[in-house]
Amino acid sequence: MTEFRNKNFIRKISSKIPLILLFASVLNEYDFNYLGLKYFSFNFSYILIFYYSLKKSESLGYIYIFIAGLFNDVVMGTPIGLSSLMYLILCGAAAYLRNITLRPSLIKDCIFFLITILIINSLLFMALNFIFNYNLDYLDQIINITYTFLLYFLFSNLFDFFETYLVGRTNAG
């Protein structure tokens, strides 16, 4: 009885981990800027949202993603609602890919992810530059997109491992 209750608790906690990671990433910005690496930055929240909207859409509710976007705007100092919009477009793209995919493959997911983040960052750049008069460095955006795309391979495998061996095992139990 106690073992059953423990497993239930672990299952509940592990199912909330993507959500915890999402809020931790928007509040904390995992960007390793303190290392002083000039040409390194990536957007962890984009990877997380795209992966979970594509593979396990029930793990991250749209409303949580919307709130996370609001939090991100406050932390970054960008106009409130902008990140939410970008996150939701990312979710929409992932949901569309999920609907049209018959045989999932990591390469196809990655290429679709790259196209989506290129569109999203272009929208973000245009909105911030032309509507809200923020100055952004074009090179920084390109670097951010490149590393976000490259790290999708790594994080996708990590999340797969997490879902299969940690969440899956507790579910099976």
Partner 1 sequence: MESSRDDFIIAIRSAFLKKGTKQRFSLLSLIFFSIIFLILGSLNFKAINYVKIGIKEIVYRSSFIVSSPENFIKDNYLLVQNHLNLYKENEKNKSELASLISKDLLNKFIILENKRLKKIIDDYLVKSNTIIAKVLSDKGSPFLKSIIINKGSKHNINLGMVAMDGAYLVGKVVEVNYFSSRILLLSDLNSKIPVIVEPNEVFSILSGTGEAYGVIQYSKKYEDIKSESIIYTSGAGSLFKAGIPIGRINSNYLSEEKKVEFFSDFSQLKFVKIVSFLKDEIE
Report the interface residues with partner 1, using CB under 8 A.
23-24, 27-31, 33-36, 38, 41, 57-58, 61-63, 66, 69-71, 74-82, 84-85, 88-89, 91-93, 95-96, 98-100, 131-132, 134-137, 140-141, 143-144
User: Taken in order 122, 127, 131, 135, is the CA torsion positive or negative?
Assistant: negative
Least separation, in Å, of the C-beta of 12 and partner 1? 14
DSSP 27-76: HH----GGGT-TT----HHHHHHHHHHHH-TTTS-HHHHHHHHHHHHHHH
Looking from the CA of 56 toward its CB, the CA atoms found within 13 Å total: 17
Nearer to partner 1, 88 or 119 (CB): 88
Nearer to partner 1, 14 or 141 (CB): 141
Classify residue 143 as exposed, middle or buried by CB count within 10 Å of its CB (0-12, 13-18, 19+): middle
Per DSSP, 167 falls in state I
Nearer to partner 1, 28 or 157 (CB): 28
Least separation, in Å, of the C-beta of 97 and partner 1? 9
Nearer to partner 1, 48 or 82 (CB): 82
Name which of 30, 62, 68 is nearest 148 in CA terms.
30
Q: What is the dihedral of CA 157, 161, 167, 172, to 10 degrees?
A: 130
